[in-house]
Structure 1
Amino acid sequence: MHSPVLFLIALVIFTLPGAHGGKVLVFPLDGSHWVNMRVLIEEIHLRGHSVSVVRASDSWYIKEMSPYYTSITIDATGGQHKEFVSLLVSRLLRIQREGASVWTRYSIDMELKDGFSQIHKNICEMVIQMFEDQRLMQSLRNAKYDLVLADPGAGGGAVLAHYLGLPLIFNARWTLHGEAHMAIAPSPPSYVPYPVAELTDNMNFPHRVRNMFFYILRPLLYKSTVSSHYTALCQRYFGPEVDYFQLFQAADIWLMRVDFVFEFPRPTMPNVVYMGGFQCKPAKPLPEDLEEFVQSSGEHGIIIMSLGTLFSELPHDLADEIAAAFAQLSQKVIWRHAGDKPATLGNNTRLVTWMPQNDLLGHPKIRAFVAHGGTNGVYEAIYHGVPIVGLPLIFDQPDNLNRMTVKGAAKIVDIVTLDRNIFLQALQEVIYEPSYRLNMQRLSRLHRDQPMKPLDRALFWIEFVMRHKGAAHLRTESYKMPWYVYHSVDVIGVLLAAMLFILLMILFVIRYLCCRVWVCCKRKVKHE
């Protein structure tokens, strides 16, 4: 008698996931970018969708085994393995410490150009290996994915989505051509500062000259770094009529990892979804030993220091100066540090190889956050209202911290001139000057006051693309226009030509009339 009921229950259980669950193919970028992508993947999985992740066999952060996704491991060099990235970062840090100058800036750019060129070359070779594996590509087609979720910091995701004919969603802050807004949204250089220029939206004339300089030269640098690799890849499989950068601009949805508490007001587009701080969440209780150390700080509180995934090990002399400054504070310090123990380390400082950063930032005893200025750390500090002492190193870090400094929530220390006295003075200013904490808490209130959580917003649009097989109605077709059509140069040229023609006609008529009058006057004089 119960058999029909059990059969119906089983039928419901086994058919619901198929009816509501989608399939997402992910082409991520390794390193700190994977930290962001993993948050999305875990939430997509919890919503009942299945996820497959393309990874190179030498991936640094992207593990082959996970309860949240199925790996598609390509036996290739992804170009972002730990040794390569660590060596690149070490060279960049050494160059930067030589002193602030035009030559230093040029040397860093050339080092980045060579390093990133190699990374993108390896990514293209991995994609070629995928495309040449007919069994793999047939399995991807048979899987009937609903969309490709990719990081536009690498070009492989856009190329793969085009090859499979799937909708494309980007988890973006940067593309391989620079900041993501620059690829799709109008960006007037008069008030939209170019990222890495370390400017604001309120620029005087010299600032606007500097901004224009970056607008012209930086895209040329990015293009010279990646263009040859992706152009050759697209021509090989799609023909010369397909431009690799147009594949980026054709993405259905851009999940942008910023919001306007951090970003300066600027034009945007309908298919840009802002999810800045989507990885942030309320603090959880600390491990017992860590909580005991935090409580031992008494009324003075704690400071935490973390320089992200790439800079946990600093040069010995720099680490010694930082440790000496910490030793003079009344606060307890938790420092994420790798390598040898600094010779000047004080009894108030605890070195760890890993820390629950979000939980420490949300602890009532936190007083300041010493950070390198990565986007993840900045947003966690904003979310929890913790002021920042910034040690910007490379990439977008100086610009990120400059934005927080302008808003009165951070103090930047130049790593070139850093010593224990300068660093101690910066720490004490941020800890004891109330404006830093008050400004950051104001930003925190603004950031949290949203109609829905950033992560829920991101998941809504991912599922929206699944339901509707894309979001073409939100995507402008302007990327298909030649530059002279986009900027109306042809229209302006025609209008100027018409105005010139009218002006010449007027001049011709005036001259003709003047000549007629002169002839008539001359005849009249002769007649008299």
Structure 2
Amino acid sequence: MKLLFCCSAFLLLLFLDPRVCQGGNILVMPTEGSHWINMDFLLQALHSRGHNVTIVLSNKSWYIKDNSSYYTAYTVQMDRYLDKVLNTKLFSDYIEFERGALPLSSFLHMTVGMFSLFIDVHRIVGEFVSAVLDEQELMRKLKDSKFDLLLTDPCWGAGVILAKYLNLPLVYNVRWLIATEGHLAIAPSPISYIPITGSGNTDKMSFHQRVQNMVLHLITQSQNYLVGKLVYQPISDKYLGPNYDFNELILDAEIWLMRVDFAFEYPRPTMPNVVYMGGFQCTPAKPLPQDLEDFVQSSGEHGVIIMSMGTFVSELPADMTNEIAAAFAKLPQKVIWRHKGNRPATLGNNTLIVDWMPQNDLLGHPKTKLFVAHGGTNGVQEAVYHGVPVVGLPIFFDQYDNLLRLKERGGAKLLEIKTVDKDNNFLNAIQEVLIDPSYRLNMQRFSRLHRDQPIEPLNNALFWIEFVMRHKGAAHLKSQSYRLPWYSYYSVDVVLFLAAAVLFVFLIIFILVRCLYTAMCKPKLKRD
């Protein structure tokens, strides 16, 4: 009888608890590349909590599969999609320029090409969302599914338009908003101490660095605005009507799940609907495949180094890979290297080349001594989570800035890509980090700081996604600042009004004084 009473009370508490969220219905517009890797992790967690997940993807997607045990996929046929080969070619050209192998004229041509590519990528994304909205049978299914919210990454604008078309609450898995960092779009961001990604600055800037920071901020904000107006605004006008400004729509998300935290990010102003989940994809290491475990164990007391340059840069120039391989061959450690190019001629017996590796599990292995990385957000956060020091080879995007944050905390050594194969720089950097214990101690201290949170980042993200489902949005957390024109946001109109009022008062005083002076001086002139 007592057991029955306890069970009944427990069920009653579950029924009355307002935080309980029955299985929701979630629509997802994903993004490609490394952005999909962490989105995929979030979708698996949502499915494990009983939510129904549906994604919309292109038939030419690079990584996203159209069949899965934890989501339903609707595949849209596209004539063209993002060309990974073209991206790789441009990135290779950038590496060659950094090394001085391309003249300035080629760099300028490449810069124009990169911006043109950036616009073209978003035009293809625009074609994708147009194809989705034009497919009547698919739209009927999406409308009939009665979704609770739409989850997307706003570095592409497709999900924003689809969410508004279906009238769904919008939740972001976000670091970037098209061409700018997410905070800059939604939160007050004084450029005097908030470094713009790509500037290479910290939150302690000289006058020269603040000038550089401001110029870069203006450039990225202009790019962001232009892409919205040139690419997504015509699509918004066509499917949503002319009364919606895309650059306002993209700021109208209920919750921004930000893929950083303040152990990693510099302190800055934020907003109540920004939720921090840095490192949410990081987990304790799982056992390695047996062949990989045998290779790791064969390293003995020296341990293992792992190297990966991420999803976009699968291979480096041949002479550079030969220099890296030769440096690895001189080390007593075993090396696991994710590399898809030609086998380097100087490869040593201690180095294992793989097409793919369980990066998180290797970083969490007790024999892993060092991570050689390009500085992508996922890899950097996994290194922090497991306390593994880093030798960084940043190439583009946010990679230098991510690695700079590790260097500032004493956990990483940075190399410029143009100096990797000069004067044994690569070998010296690796030996320095391996020999000097401060690098590992600092990263372990950083790891403890990152992990010491009242709620795990993934659980925090899941709570707020379910919060939006329970309450049909989070309007009480959204600032109305995004609806204000820039002159109202910065109170330019108020300042001008007050300045005019002050000038008017001074003008009245001046007129009164002049009249008084004239009145008092006239009788004196008559007497004379």
TM-score interval (norm. to shorter): over 0.9
**Following the alignment from structure 2 to structure 1, what is the Cα–Cα distance between the partners of residues 417 and 150?**
40
SS of the residue aligned with 2:307?
Answer: strand
Corresponding residue number in structure 2 for 1:5:
none
The answer to whether the 8 A contact 1:78-1:119 is kept is no
2:322 pairs with 1:342: no
| Aligned ranges 1:60-459 → 2 under 5 Å | 60-77=62-79, 79-98=81-100, 109-419=111-421, 421-459=424-462
Deviation at 1:140, TM superposition (A): 0.7
The answer to whether the 8 A contact 1:24-1:52 is kept is yes
Deviation at 1:108, TM superposition (A): 5.3
**Following the alignment from structure 2 to structure 1, what is the Cα–Cα distance between the partners of residues 110 and 267?**
29
**Following the alignment from structure 1 to structure 2, what is the Cα–Cα distance between the partners of residues 157 and 242?**
15
Listed one character per residue, the Cα deviations across residues 71-127 of structure 1 (whole Å, up to 9, x for unaligned) are 110001563354343334333333433379987875554333222212211111121
2:496 pairs with 1:488: no
**Following the alignment from structure 1 to structure 2, what is the Cα–Cα distance between the partners of residues 316 and 523?**
100
Q: How many residues align?
A: 508
| Aligned ranges 1:9-20 → 2 under 5 Å | 20=22
SS of the residue aligned with 2:128?
Answer: helix
Corresponding residue number in structure 2 for 1:6:
none
Deviation at 1:226, TM superposition (A): 5.0
> Bigger CA drift: 80-89 or 251-260?
80-89
Deviation at 1:170, TM superposition (A): 0.6
Deviation at 1:440, TM superposition (A): 1.1
* 1:521 maps to which of 504, 518, 524: 524
**Following the alignment from structure 1 to structure 2, what is the Cα–Cα distance between the partners of residues 51 and 263?**
31
From the superposition, tell whether residues 226 and 106 of structure 1 become closer, same or farther in structure 2 (CA, over 3 Å): farther
Corresponding residue number in structure 2 for 1:24:
26
2:474 pairs with 1:462: no
Could you tell me which amino acid in structure 1 is paired with residue 340 of structure 2? A
SS of the residue aligned with 1:378?
Answer: helix
Q: TM-score normalised to the size of structure 1?
A: 0.92
Could you tell me which amino acid in structure 2 is paired with residue 141 of structure 1? K
Q: Which runs of 5+ in 2 are unaligned?
A: 1-20
Corresponding residue number in structure 1 for 2:481:
478
**Following the alignment from structure 1 to structure 2, what is the Cα–Cα distance between the partners of residues 351 and 197?**
34
**Following the alignment from structure 2 to structure 1, what is the Cα–Cα distance between the partners of residues 163 and 358?**
36
Corresponding residue number in structure 1 for 2:51:
49
The answer to whether the 8 A contact 2:95-2:417 is kept is no
**Following the alignment from structure 1 to structure 2, what is the Cα–Cα distance between the partners of residues 80 and 372?**
22
Q: TM-score normalised to the size of structure 2?
A: 0.92
Percent identical pairs in the alignment equals 54
Could you tell me which amino acid in structure 2 is paired with residue 238 of structure 1? L
Corresponding residue number in structure 2 for 1:498:
501
Deviation at 1:515, TM superposition (A): 2.5
The answer to whether the 8 A contact 2:333-2:350 is kept is yes
**Following the alignment from structure 1 to structure 2, what is the Cα–Cα distance between the partners of residues 95 and 263?**
30
Corresponding residue number in structure 1 for 2:42:
40
**Following the alignment from structure 2 to structure 1, what is the Cα–Cα distance between the partners of residues 111 and 292?**
41
The answer to whether the 8 A contact 1:60-1:81 is kept is no
SS of the residue aligned with 2:121?
Answer: helix
Listed one character per residue, the Cα deviations across residues 352-385 of structure 1 (whole Å, up to 9, x for unaligned) are 1111111111111211100000000000000001
**Following the alignment from structure 2 to structure 1, what is the Cα–Cα distance between the partners of residues 98 and 70?**
40
The answer to whether the 8 A contact 1:385-1:437 is kept is yes
The answer to whether the 8 A contact 1:99-1:416 is kept is no
The answer to whether the 8 A contact 1:196-1:399 is kept is yes
**Following the alignment from structure 2 to structure 1, what is the Cα–Cα distance between the partners of residues 277 and 107?**
32
The answer to whether the 8 A contact 1:93-1:394 is kept is no
**Following the alignment from structure 1 to structure 2, what is the Cα–Cα distance between the partners of residues 296 and 250?**
54
The answer to whether the 8 A contact 1:373-1:398 is kept is yes
The answer to whether the 8 A contact 1:79-1:120 is kept is no
**Following the alignment from structure 2 to structure 1, what is the Cα–Cα distance between the partners of residues 286 and 134?**
47
The answer to whether the 8 A contact 1:389-1:411 is kept is yes
Could you tell me which amino acid in structure 2 is paired with residue 502 of structure 1? V
**Following the alignment from structure 1 to structure 2, what is the Cα–Cα distance between the partners of residues 170 and 97?**
37
Listed one character per residue, the Cα deviations across residues 301-323 of structure 1 (whole Å, up to 9, x for unaligned) are 11110111111222111100111
Deviation at 1:273, TM superposition (A): 0.5
**Following the alignment from structure 1 to structure 2, what is the Cα–Cα distance between the partners of residues 89 and 468?**
44
From the superposition, tell whether residues 401 and 99 of structure 1 become closer, same or farther in structure 2 (CA, over 3 Å): farther
Q: Which runs of 5+ in 1 are unaligned?
A: 1-18
The answer to whether the 8 A contact 2:225-2:247 is kept is no
SS of the residue aligned with 2:514?
Answer: helix
The answer to whether the 8 A contact 1:79-1:118 is kept is no
From the superposition, tell whether residues 108 and 475 of structure 1 become closer, same or farther in structure 2 (CA, over 3 Å): farther
The answer to whether the 8 A contact 2:228-2:247 is kept is no
Could you tell me which amino acid in structure 2 is paired with residue 233 of structure 1? I
From the superposition, tell whether residues 102 and 411 of structure 1 become closer, same or farther in structure 2 (CA, over 3 Å): farther
SS of the residue aligned with 1:25?
Answer: strand
Listed one character per residue, the Cα deviations across residues 407-435 of structure 1 (whole Å, up to 9, x for unaligned) are 22111111112216010111111111122
> Bigger CA drift: 289-298 or 186-195?
289-298
> Bigger CA drift: 496-505 or 510-519?
510-519
**Following the alignment from structure 1 to structure 2, what is the Cα–Cα distance between the partners of residues 103 and 200?**
31
> Bigger CA drift: 418-427 or 157-166?
418-427
From the superposition, tell whether residues 179 and 226 of structure 1 become closer, same or farther in structure 2 (CA, over 3 Å): same
**Following the alignment from structure 1 to structure 2, what is the Cα–Cα distance between the partners of residues 103 and 369?**
36
Deviation at 1:139, TM superposition (A): 1.2
Could you tell me which amino acid in structure 2 is paired with residue 486 of structure 1? Y
Could you tell me which amino acid in structure 1 is paired with residue 497 of structure 2? V
SS of the residue aligned with 2:190?
Answer: coil
The answer to whether the 8 A contact 2:164-2:240 is kept is no
The answer to whether the 8 A contact 2:394-2:416 is kept is yes
**Following the alignment from structure 1 to structure 2, what is the Cα–Cα distance between the partners of residues 274 and 428?**
35
> Bigger CA drift: 91-100 or 287-296?
91-100
**Following the alignment from structure 1 to structure 2, what is the Cα–Cα distance between the partners of residues 402 and 192?**
14
Could you tell me which amino acid in structure 2 is paired with residue 407 of structure 1? R
**Following the alignment from structure 1 to structure 2, what is the Cα–Cα distance between the partners of residues 213 and 239?**
35
Corresponding residue number in structure 2 for 1:16:
none
